[in-house]
Structure 1
Amino acid sequence: MHEDARLAALRGFGVLDTPPEAAFDRITGLLADVLDVPISLLTLVDAERIWFKSVVGIAEREVDRAPGFCDTAIRMTGAYVIEDALTAPRARRNPLVTGELGVRFYAGAPLRTSDGYTIGMLAALDLRPRRLEARELRVLEQLADVAMEHLQLRREVRQAAASKEAVERAYLKLSEGFEETVQQRTAELAHQAQHDHLTGLPNRVLLEERLERALASATRHGRALAVLFVDLDGFKHVNDTFGHTAGDHLLQQVASRLLASLRSSDTLARVSGDEFVVLIPEVKRPDDARDVALALLAGLGEPFSARGHDVTLTASVGVSVFPKDGPDAAAMQRHADAAMYAAKDAGRNRVCFYRGAHEAALFEEEP
């Protein structure tokens, strides 16, 4: 790394020691929300210090460069992740780790100029060890790209304007347009973080958010709700026979058919390869959940198409009903999952209701 050239590139942006700016604060705020971390930083690595252009979660505006996380990170070719700082020899000497804050996790994506110099990092920090999913890493990298685009545009405005008044006019115009761009990219990234890339359905993150809200509403108004776990029967055989590309196409068809059996107020989420979860936010009686479950199975009744062949798919459905089957989201999902496995054990292609941990004979009904 040519440090003198890197520092010259950094200072060419004219951003060190400038006041906070809404566009950068929006990026760090979104990063903290999407990755569910208490601290997020947009850092610029100067000669002797790491300065924070935008920060969420701590009061500091800069730290010494060594032994800072970002000092190590800028030497990497891509993102830099420390799952547990106490097990990383250099990181565990960092004052953010050894001090009162007690940082344990760091993930940073580089702010890289068009000529290849890394001038800083967009970073997420947590107070507990954790792993970063591939989806979360993509969000971090894309937000870093958004931040770098704004830094570059900001520099172009400074270079193009010949007077303070011209700078202010041009920057105001740029900021208005960039705010709109940031809002659009923010919405896109938030959607990616909460939806399954293959089917477009809500993923587990969004499902649990909606389930928590539905449980709070049901408790407040004295209503019942239902959670249905839907697991395709023998789907591995489909992948082994026709290949994963055909299997992905079938999952998209399955998602469409399941959606067609639900109301707009219901949520259908894909939570793993061939497993879907349905949230019915209001049921007046258990038969309502049974009727929905049977409709889902009936919707899968017609053959699917895979590489010109007809493929018959069935599913096993487990149902839990709030409040009798669990007081919270974790219990409702766990008990619907248990009922789904009971449906598998009973012969598949059927619906089972949860009836308690020690009751072997769950209610079951075939379509």
Structure 2
Amino acid sequence: MTIFQELEMYKNFDELATDLLDLAKEILPEQFIFLSSINDTQQVILKLSNDNTSIDVTEGTIVNLNDTLCQHIDFGTKQPLIYEDVSKESSLGDFKNILEKANIKSYLGIPISFVNGEKFGTLCAVNDQVSRFDEKSIHLLQRIVRMFSYYLDLERFAYRDVLTNLYNRRYLAKFFEDHHDSGGTVFFLDLDGFKGVNDLYGHDAGDMVLEEVASRLLKFIDGYEDVFAVRLGGDEFVIHFSQPTSAERLSEMATRLLDSLMTWDDDFQLSASLGIATYSINSEIDLKTLLKNADFALFQAKKSGKNAYQFFETEKIV
């Protein structure tokens, strides 16, 4: 799951994003303003100021991050990136050709991050003419961006597990409500031996294990499209896949996931068990039933000896 899809669930995002652009436009009335969100490889243009402009930037466009000026922004220092006359920036090299095609002659990029430092995107001001960006205007834009960041964090906290930063049950419920007719698969897993870790080493060690599980789940889903991980509570986790996948492929994925959760330091005797349940396009199943099915398959996996997976099969219910 990407930040772009997560934004669809944020309340009043469009309204506040419009307010952000309007305020920025008050500060820099001559500039073309846009809000973007970025990840490690792409930039999405989320919203534009309402201008008639010769600059070739379109709302909803997805751009390779390497083809944008925003790739040069230092999110670590949270400092703006300023090019008042891109034609004089020798560091841009051949990238000037891309800017010329987009008719961008000046650029100001303000980084936007979540409180934990994770990138969200940028507030950008561009012009088809050389510009001058004064310090006061830049400072005001940074303050507006900071307030916008607080809003983003409030929204994110509503859908994130506090300990692991994975999505929570509320997010899963909202996603399923909006996309239940698209079909998909859930992996429902919990840890074998987790109670022993808490009993022997304490809850701090247990929390460390849960954080590490979350890290491994995120590593596991990296590279898959339309997939996200959820902590339901305790040591119960769900991975949701939206793309149709064969049983053979799901078996391969389940094996690889279980293998990734077998090796632990500090003499922790841990593994995981996994239940798999699928639902078809236009299915009338609700989330409660889907999770119940996956949980039943998980129970069967544990009965088979743990560190195993099982598919949900209706005929096995007694």
Structure 1 length normalisation: TM-score? 0.45
Instruction: Tell me the distance in 2 between the aligned counterparts of 1:275 and 1:315.
Output: 10
Distance in 2, Cα, partners of 1:279 & 1:326: 17
In 2, distance between residues paired with 1:254 and 1:234? Answer: 13
Which of the residues 154, 177, 187 maps onto 1:189?
A: 154
Structure 1 segments (4+ residues) deviating >6 Å: 174-178
SS in 2 for 1:227: strand
- Corresponding residue for residue 100 of structure 2: none
C-alpha change, 1:284 and 1:264, in structure 2 (3 Å) is: closer
- Runs of at least 5 residues in structure 2 that lack an aligned partner in the other structure: 1-10, 13-138
CA contact 1:231–1:276 (8 Å) conserved in 2 = yes
Are the aligned partners of 2:193 and 2:269 in contact in 1 as well (CA < 8 Å)? no
Equivalent position amino acid for 1:343 in 2: A
Matches of 1:205 and 1:196 in 2, distance apart? 10
**8 Å CA contact retained: 1:283, 1:289:** no
Please point out which of 180, 198, 212 is paired with 1:239: 198
Distance in 2, Cα, partners of 1:202 & 1:255: 10
Cα shift at 1:340: 0.9
Which deviations, in whole Å up to 9, do the C-alpha atoms of 1:144-167 show, x marking residues without a partner? xxxxxxxxxxxxxxxxxxxxxxxx
- How many residues of Structure 1 are paired with residues of Structure 2 in the alignment? 182
List aligned pairs for 1:1-367, cutoff 5 A.
180-216=145-181, 218=182, 224-262=183-221, 263-265=223-225, 266-302=227-263, 304-305=264-265, 309-323=266-280, 327-356=285-314, 358-360=315-317
Partner of 1:183, secondary structure, is helix
Partners of 1:315 and 1:348 within 8 A in 2: yes
Distance 1:326 1:311, change over 3 A: farther
Provide the aligned C-alpha RMSD in A.
Answer: 2.9
**In 1, distance between residues paired with 2:204 and 2:253?**
30
Find the structure with the greater CA-based Rg: 1
Contact persistence 2:262–2:272 (CA under 8 A): no
- Report the Cα distance in structure 2 between the residues aligned to 1:287 and 1:278, rounded to whole angstroms: 17
For the Cα contact (< 8 Å) 1:326–1:332, is it kept in 2? no
Between the aligned partners of 2:142 and 2:153, the Cα distance in structure 1 is 17
**Separation (CA, whole Å) in 2 of partners of 1:182 and 1:226:** 38
1:245 CA displacement: 0.7
**Range with greater deviation from structure 2 (186-195 or 249-258):** 249-258
Distance in 2, matches of 1:227 and 1:284, equals: 11
CA distance in 2, matches of 1:286, 1:211: 22
Distance in structure 1 (CA, Å) of the matches to 2:166 and 2:143:
29
Give 5+ residue unaligned stretches, structure 1. 1-28, 31-173, 219-223, 362-367
CA contact (8 A) 1:257 1:299 kept: yes
Shift of 1:320: 0.5
Q: 1:328 to 1:287 in 2, by over 3 A?
A: farther
Indicate the SS of the match to 2:242: strand
Cα contact 1:297–1:314 (8 A) shared by 2: yes
2:280 maps to amino acid? P
Structure 1 contact 318–343 (Cα < 8 Å) conserved: yes
Note closer, same or farther for the CA distance 1:214–1:312 as it changes in structure 2 (3 Å cut): farther
SS in 2 for 1:311: coil
Distance 2:244 2:202 in 1: 39
Distance 1:205 1:244, change over 3 A: same
1:229 offset after TM fit, Å? Answer: 0.4
Could you give the per-residue CA deviations for residues 302-335 of structure 1, whole angstroms, max 9, x where no partner exists?
2x23xxx232311111111112996232322221
Cα separation, 2, equivalents of 1:180 and 1:342: 50
Which SS does the other structure have where 1:230 is aligned? strand
